[in-house]
Homo-oligomer: A and B are copies of this chain.
Amino acid sequence: MSDLPQRIIITEEGPREGFQIEPGPIRTEDKIRFIDLLSNTGLSRIQVCSFVSPRLVPGWADADAVVAGFTPNDSVDYTALWFNQRGIDRALTFQNKLTLEGSVHLSASEPFSISNLNRDRATNLEKMREQTKAHVSADIPTHHITLMAAFGCNFAGDISPEQVVATVRDGVDAGLAAGTSITSVSLCDTMGWANPSLIQRVIGAVRDAFPTLQVELHLHDTRGLGIANAHAGLQLGVTHFDTAAGGLGGCPFAKHKGAPGNIATEELVLLAEELGIHTGVDLDALIDAGQFAESIVGHTLPSATLKGGSLNSLRQNVS
């Protein structure tokens, strides 16, 4: 376990990811309150919204109001997601509150690209080249690849490490063509296909091909292996993870209703801190925020730590 990092950086995606799958409308003020609670947990990165078409994603029709409404904490970087020029333009109006970062969104799976992005991989790559150029023109730093379906795909089955490496190469080249250098890639287990051995193989292959690229993990807990996979990543020295408080978000690709989506922030924080890895996060404050999220959505969230509670609070009672 000698490669365990000393500290990790968690990007909290609960506010952005968490509410768009919920059937009922979530009140703007509740989204804002949730972000404000998360801002005071010690998290250093929070993704607060998607600037997407209100027609396609009605749950984010209030993205601008949410960003305008939350109270920023100086020690937190607030990020947002967008997929087109209109989104870029909306994000640019909030440069005072948001840390704008572009990403090259790619899928390792052809059928997932078609079903989820509504275009094949070649067409998407062309679109990403254009968007990266638009980012460069707008002075939005774009040094990152978000690589979906990196460990398997409900529509394509297993994804080979070679497919992942080829997709990273596409992204790196798209960056170069747009005049920017790619320095990091998030490998996303979008549909919950990873296992700890596969994490090792895929990260190993990407690092072999791109030794200077920082490999980050965006894991889903669709089938319950998410935290074991995160641990495999920690053992390989991975320092950047995306998570969602409470395990907010759910999975649209599960066989049966109710499967988890992103790994729960509480569970990763607990794992890391118990292993002696610094997260900067106050787990009890995070659990309070997660319980507020549960009250907003009106149903139980997947995070076990949210219910089990922190160990440090019990240790304090004992001593």
| A contacts, CB < 8 Å to B | 1, 152, 154-158, 192-193, 195-198, 200, 221-225, 227-228, 230-232, 251, 254-260, 264, 266-267, 270-271, 274-275, 291, 300, 302-311, 313-315, 318-319
Contact = CB atoms under 8 A, between A and B. Distances in A.
B267 A223 contact: yes
A266 B270 CA distance: 23
A219 to B, nearest CB: 12
A228 B229 CA distance: 8
A158 B315 contact: yes
Contacts of A291: 256
Contacts of A307: 222, 251, 254-260
A231 B264 CA distance: 19
Q: Which of A223, A227, A231, A291 counts the most chain B CB atoms within 10 A? A: A223
Contact of A157 (B152, B306, B314): B314
Nearest to A156: B318
28 contacts: A152-B311, A155-B318, A157-B314, A157-B318, A157-B319, A192-B308, A193-B311, A195-B274, A196-B271, A222-B308, A223-B305, A223-B309, A224-B227, A224-B270, A224-B308, A227-B227, A227-B228, A228-B271, A231-B231, A251-B307, A254-B309, A255-B308, A255-B309, A257-B307, A258-B307, A259-B304, A259-B308, A300-B300
Contacts of A309: 223, 254-256, 259
Indicate how many identical chains form the complex.
Answer: 2
Contacts of A230: 228
Given A255-B313, A271-B195, A223 B308 contact: yes
B224 A266 contact: yes
Contacts of A303: 224
Contacts of A315: 157-158
A261 to B, nearest CB: 10
Contacts of A198: 274
A275 B197 contact: yes
A304 B267 contact: no
A288 to B, nearest CB: 11
Nearest to A222: B308
A103 to B, nearest CB: 26
Contacts of A254: 307-309
A124 to B, nearest CB: 21
A306 to B, nearest CB: 7
Contacts of A308: 192, 222-224, 251, 254-256, 259-260
Contact of A1 (B197, B224, B274, B305): B197
A233 to B, nearest CB: 11
Contacts of A231: 196, 228, 231-232
Nearest to A250: B307
A81 B296 CA distance: 42
A48 B75 CA distance: 54
Contacts of A193: 311
B158 A195 contact: no
Contacts of A222: 304, 307-308
